[in-house]
Chains A and B, each alone.
Chain A
Amino acid sequence: MKDKNDDKKKTRRDFLKLGLASGAGIIAGGVVLGNISKDGKTPSGETLKLLAPDGSLVEVDKAMIEEPKPPHINREEAKKGIPGRNFVMVVDLSKCKNARKCTEKCQKGHHLPPDQEWMKVFLLKDNDVGPRYWFPRPCYHCDNPPCVKVCPVGATYKRQDGIVLIDTKRCIGCKFCMSACPYSARTFNWNENEGNHVNQEYSPETSVPSELGTVGKCDFCPDRSRIGKVPYCVDGCPMGAIYFGDANEDAVTNGDATVRLTTLLEENGGYRYLEHLGTKPRVYYLPPVGVEYERGLEDLDENIKLRYKDMIDDNDLTENHG
């Protein structure tokens, strides 16, 4: 008990000290140490004396310096959305080489088991003579969302910033939204898995931890947007194929380049998948120009490659094997 109190005191003391130091820093242009952990993380005890740019000495605890963390948004707040935002995504199909980094980073970030892919890459061919191309499919966060329409309990909802979220504490697992979604974007938590037991306070914005017997899907990572970071998939894509941004600002970024949304769509012939359904997706695609789809088959796990067996020639399937 005593130890705990001491720790608490120390945390507070250190925090105050740092607060003062960074307070002074703002005036003097001084130290920027990032966010100081406020979640009661115990100090490592290892303190460092640092020479601040203004010539003074400050003491910091090594374990206390954290990357900025998104604030915890509870279930009620999560319904409102980030004020003034209007999130959109643009996927440049000519750039996608099925590196699967978007999927991997998303899975890792959301603690998803391998059998649940929120960001899924399909191999499509629209017609006999048309090209084969890789087609990453997140949730489209439609403005006329068929899934939200049919939810009997309001567990999935659309927010002011355009994002469609799922409150897994409310979801009854009826799976109506899954049949309503024309894009197969929703997955069900069929099995007990690690993601259900992540030691983290639940927020619909992080979608972590997941719950057995409820529905999950791509959430456009609003928790990351709150600290100015793009979603996991955008961050993960090595080709810069996925752009993300705020349509109100008319700008999207792939982490590398930032471009105007209207210009990007205008100059590249942007379109939306199955526009005629009237669901008004928030994800735009740029047409697959000059795609060498074979490159996406290299270095693939055998069981992932087999997914595309209907789409590829038999020799492609065996070529890179063994």
Chain B
Amino acid sequence: MDNKTKYIKELSALVENKPTAKQKLWLVFLLVLIGAGAFAFFYQLRNGQIVTGMRDNVVWGIYTIFFVVFLGFSYAGALIASILHLARVRWAKPIVRILELIAVFSLIVGPPFILFCLGRFDRLLMIFTHGRLQSPIIWDVIAIVSDLIISIVFIFITFIKDFALLRDNTELKIPKWRRKFYTFFAFNYKCTLKQEELLNKAHDILAAILIPITIVAYSLLACIFAMTLKTGWHSTIFAPYFVLTAVFSGTALVIIVLWIVRKVYKLHDYITKKHFNLLGFTMLVLCLIYGYFTFSEYFTNWYGGDLNTMMILSKLLSFHEYGWMMLTYILLASVIPIVIIGLPWFRNVSTITFAAFTTLTGLILHRFIVIIPTQETPFLPVQDIRPEYISYSATWVEWMLTLGGVAAFLFLFSAATKIVPVISISEMQESLKKKKLKIFGTQPDE
């Protein structure tokens, strides 16, 4: 059996698998979490935002943090996938599909998080009917809506070749509706030369525009913070800092997802140590650049020494406030990845995944450190005796709803891997070809 038939056979079989008992349990568990999240959502809708930990000073809490986190995954996924696709990177073929799935699902799950912050959910549509172009929120709405539409269309374009294969694969034991689904979304693709050329062009065009869209969209998201006059947010570095953090955390997420997918679907032949090493090195480089950005941001502010910056910094360094969180974050997001991946002695698939996991956790803490202390430190001192007005702590409603959102992401991803081959068959076939595909009509050098 040559590689080509092996790929088609094994990867097609992925969609044939009935979920095992364990997998079913996992999906039910996620559904329960989603249900709990839905309950928390309605509870908050009914009782108002008083049930959250947000108050007049800290007006945005963990909803906003996870909004930033999820959109970061999405933009990172789309950005990396598009670059890898356009650069025709051979080794990356097995991971492109996973990146694209992450991009789409986190883009579906992320935006609702910012909607949970709305005091008047019932007036949501006013954003469209009375939108003001000067508001960074409207920039975000335009960017996210555009990105969502284009990403969804893009991912369906990447499905076409695979769906055509699945449609034509008569040996597959799949229900009739599935076959109809594949037939429809294969858009009459018959693998002719002309069709392939048209399809590849469409694929390239969308991949190309997704690159600037994701960078711009995530920069605009940074604008929501940077455009205010708040110390700690009002920084010129914020947009690139956000984009870089997104790519960093996205890479970490991909490593974790790869490890899980490889284990669950036994894809050791496809997702190899090489992938983990290469992604690990990418993460290490990103970690160093990220450290450089963080250094620039804080060191510049500290050296300037203006009053509010110093107040925020003293909070970050004080062990009565954010000192422990700061220390944990530095340990998780820089010390651990640098030691594990940077030094040759600890580096293997599992440790790299572990480093990715700590990085991811660390970066969520980082978002907390960027978003919350600044709001607790306005120009006028917070002279209040109500503890919730002085410092933020999330309530059970916020945690439950957030967990529900995370569960929704996991559920969507898990369910999708049952319908769509988690490793792109067509991309794998591409990797076997001697010549790389043309990029916009030009043959990349080999």
> Interface of A with B (CB < 8 Å)?
115, 122-124, 135, 137, 146, 149-154, 170-176, 178-180, 182-184, 186-192, 211-215, 274, 277, 279, 303, 306-308, 310-311
Complexed CA–CA distance, A137 and B380 (Å): 10
CB < 8 Å: which of A214, A303, A311 contacts B119? A214
Is A175 a contact partner of B229 (Cβ separation < 8 A)? no
Measured CB to CB, the closest approach of chain A to B10, in angstroms, equals 49
Hey, which chain B residues are within 8 Å of A176, CB to CB? 135-137, 224
CB distance from B16 to the nearest CB of A (A): 46
Cβ contact within 8 Å between B49 and A190: yes
Instruction: Please tell me if B375 contacts chain A, counting CB pairs below 8 Å.
Output: yes
Please measure, in the bound complex, the distance between the C-alpha atom of A188 and the C-alpha atom of B383, giving whole angstroms.
17
Q: Within 8 Å of chain A (Cβ to Cβ): is B418?
A: no
Interface: B1 (CB within 8 A)? no
Which listed residue (B60, B120, B136) contacts A171, Cβ 8 A?
B120
Given contacts A123-B383, A152-B127, A213-B49, contact A179 B59 (CB under 8 A): yes
Among A174, A179, A187, A306, point to the contact of B118 (Cβ < 8 A).
A174
Q: Are B50 and A191 in contact (CB under 8 A)?
A: yes
**B132 & A153 in contact (Cβ 8 Å cutoff):** yes
Q: Give residues of chain B (371-419) contacting chain A, Cβ–Cβ below 8 Å.
A: 375, 378-386
Q: A137-B380, A152-B137, A153-B130 are in contact. Are A303 and B385 (CB under 8 A)?
A: yes
Residues of B near A279 (CB, < 8 A) are 229
B119 near A182: Cβ-Cβ < 8 Å: no
The residues of B that contact A311 with a CB separation of less than 8 Å are 381, 383
Let me know if A178 and B56 touch, CB within 8 A.
Answer: yes
* The residue from B59, B127, B135, B224 contacting A149, defined by CB atoms under 8 A apart: B135
User: Do B127 and A153 touch (CB < 8 A)?
Assistant: yes
Residues of A contacting B230 with CB < 8 Å?
179, 182
With A and B bound together, what is the CA distance between A89 and B120 in angstroms?
32
Establish whether residues A122 and B381, one from each chain, have CB atoms under 8 Å apart when the complex forms: yes
B127-A172 in contact (CB<8A): yes
In the bound complex, do residue B134 and residue A175 qualify as a contact, i.e. CB atoms below 8 Å apart?
no
| B123 CB contacts on chain A under 8 angstroms | 153, 170-173
Q: Are B120 and A213 in contact (CB under 8 A)?
A: yes
A residues in contact with B127, CB < 8 Å: 152-153, 172
B385 near A307: Cβ-Cβ < 8 Å: yes
Flag B102-121 by CB within 8 Å of A: 1 or 0 each: 00000000000000011110
Contacting pair B380 A150 (CB below 8 A): no
Say whether, besides A122-B383, A172-B126, A213-B119, A191 and B48 are in contact (CB < 8 Å). Answer: yes
Given pairs A122-B383, A182-B379, 6 additional interface contacts (CB within 8 A): A150-B227, A154-B132, A175-B117, A183-B380, A184-B57, A212-B119
Known: A153-B131, A170-B126, A180-B228. A213 touches B48 (CB 8 A): yes
- Which 5 pairs from chain A and chain B are nearest by CB? A173-B119, A213-B119, A175-B59, A152-B137, A152-B135
Q: Would you list 15 pairs from A and B whose C-beta atoms are within 8 A, ordered by A residue?
A: A122-B381, A150-B135, A153-B123, A153-B130, A175-B59, A178-B59, A179-B59, A182-B379, A183-B378, A184-B57, A190-B48, A211-B120, A213-B48, A274-B379, A279-B229
Q: Are B56 and A187 in contact (CB under 8 A)?
A: yes
Do B383 and A190 touch across chains, with their CB atoms under 8 A apart?
no
A121 to B: closest C-beta gap in Å? 9
Given contacts A179-B228, A179-B230, A182-B379, contact A188 B126 (CB under 8 A): no
Q: Is B124 an interface residue (CB 8 A)?
A: yes
Bound Cα distance A212, B375 (Å):
22
Measured CB to CB, the closest approach of chain B to A148, in angstroms, equals 9
* Distance, CA A172 to CA B54, complexed state (A): 16
- B138 at the A interface (CB under 8 A): yes
Interface residues of B in 27-60 (CB under 8 A from A): 48-50, 54-57, 59-60
The chain B residues found within 8 Å of chain A, CB to CB, are 48-50, 54-57, 59-60, 117-120, 123-124, 126-127, 130-132, 134-138, 141, 224, 227-230, 375, 378-386
- Complex: how many Å from CA A186 to CA B135? 18
Residues A308 and B383 in contact in the complex (CB < 8 Å), given A172-B119, A179-B375 = yes
Instruction: Say whether B229 contacts A277, CB under 8 Å.
Output: yes
A320 to chain B, nearest CB (A): 17
Shortest beta-carbon distance, A114 to chain B, in Å? 11
Closest to B51 in A: A190
Q: Tell me what chain A mostly uses at the interface: helix, strand, loop, or mixed.
A: loop
Contacts of B386 in A (CB 8 A): 115
Report the bound CA distance from A174 to B55 in whole Å.
Answer: 12
Residues of B within 8 A of A172 (CB): 118-120, 123-124, 126-127
Closest Cβ of chain A: how far from B361's Cβ, in Å? 26
Once bound together, how far apart are the Cα atoms of A211 and B122, in whole Å? 13
Q: Are B381 and A310 in contact (CB under 8 A)?
A: yes
Residues of B within 8 A of A182 (CB): 229-230, 378-379
Q: How far is the CA of A73 from the CA of B107 in the complex (A)?
A: 43
A123-B383, A172-B124 given; A188·B59 CB < 8 A: yes
Nearest-neighbour CB distance to chain B for A232, whole angstroms, equals 21
Closest to B225 in A: A179
Option from A150, A174, A188 in Cβ contact (under 8 Å) with B228: A150
Bound complex: CA of A152 vs CA of B346, how far in Å? 50
* Chain A residue at minimal CB-CB distance from B379: A182
| Measured CA separation A214–B134 after assembly (Å) | 20
**B126 / chain A contacts, CB cutoff of 8 Å:** 153, 170, 172
Q: Check B49 against A188 for contact (C-beta < 8 Å).
A: yes
B229 and A188 contact, CB distance less than 8 A: no
Is the beta-carbon distance between A154 and B59 smaller than 8 angstroms? no
**Nearest residue in B to A302 (C-beta to C-beta)?**
B385
Cross-chain contact of B131 among A137, A152, A211, A277 (Cβ < 8 A): A152
Taken together as a complex, chains A and B put the C-alpha atoms of A175 and B378 apart, in Å, by: 15
Instruction: Kindly identify which residue among B56, B57, B137 contacts A150, using a CB–CB cutoff of 8 Å.
Output: B137
Q: How far is the CA of A172 from the CA of B57 in the complex (A)?
A: 18
Residues of B within 8 A of A135 (CB): 380
- B393 → chain A, closest Cβ, in Å? 15
B388–chain A nearest beta-carbon distance, Å: 10
Picked from B56, B130, B132, B385, the residue with its CB within 8 Å of the CB of A184 is B56
Docked CA distance A308–B228 (Å): 27
User: Smallest Cβ distance from A119 to chain B, in angstroms?
Assistant: 13
CA distance A226 to B49 in the complex (A): 35
Contacts of A215 in B (CB 8 A): 119
Tell whether, in the assembled complex, residue B120 and residue A150 are in contact, meaning their CB atoms are under 8 Å apart. no
Distance between A98 CB and nearest chain B CB, rounded to angstroms: 11
Given known contacts A179-B59, A188-B119, A152 and B138 CB-to-CB distance under 8 angstroms: yes
A146 to B226, CA, bound (A): 12
Beta-carbon contact of A174 and B117 below 8 Å: yes
Q: Are B119 and A189 in contact (CB under 8 A)?
A: yes
- Asked whether, in the complex, the Cβ of B119 is within 8 Å of the Cβ of A184, the reply is no
